[in-house]
Amino acid sequence: MSASVLYMSMSLDGYIAGPNDEPGNPGGDGFMRLHDWLADGESGRAAGPARELLDQMNATAAVLVGRRTAAQVDNYKGDHHGVPIFVLSRRPPPPSVANYPLVTYVTDGIESAMAQAKAAAGDRDVLVHGAYTAQRALEAGVLDEVQVHQIPVLFGGGRRLFEVLPSRVELEIVRVIDTPEATHIRYRVRR
């Protein structure tokens, strides 16, 4: 059975994007600092625990993302590790999406978007990206797990991962991997 898993790198003070996060500056000022853990200093590629975590993320069989995130990365140019991409949106897709056969815009809510992503994923997991999408998925009870890569930096501003939640959400720690670059914490959402 597939699980929906939010994968996000986050500063210690809860930011997933730095200040000035806008279309001309996706992720905002200092954004790449949140992703330094993905590469070692010598090869520029993930190694050790970072490689294992990246492999887990790339083993997912579908992606669910919000429209804002999708727009900032040009819908991943139609390819996020070769799997179907479902974009939660209130509006139809822009015309450019016609060039991306793996991208499907879902306009009838988070429950439908997650159901379509899980159906596409089969028995493998769904990778979830974006603050808005994560908040809506938690609110609807369709997010199963949260994988946070907590980076030892304080941004002091930007876009927070859990800025608005409808109520308290209880989580259970599943795994903690501590490295010098980040603490990787995986949680299961308690229902």
The CATH number for 174's domain is 3.40.430.10
161 in a domain, yes or no? yes
- Give the confidence band of 49 by pLDDT, cuts at 50, 70, 90: confident
Q: What is the DSSP string of 16-28?
A: EE-TT-BTTBTT-
73-130 tens-digit pLDDT? 889 999 999 999 999 999 999 999 999 999 999 999 999 999 999 999 999 999 999 9
User: H or E stretch including 48?
Assistant: helix 48-58
pLDDT of residue 42: 62
Average pLDDT, the chain: 93
Query: What's the domain range around 89?
Result: 4-179
154 in a domain, yes or no? yes
184 in a domain, yes or no? no
191 in a domain, yes or no? no
Q: Is the pLDDT of residue 1 over 90?
A: no
185 in a domain, yes or no? no
145 in a domain, yes or no? yes
123 in a domain, yes or no? yes
10 Å CB burial of residue 45 (0-12, 13-18, 19+) is exposed
20 in a domain, yes or no? yes
Domain count, the chain: 1
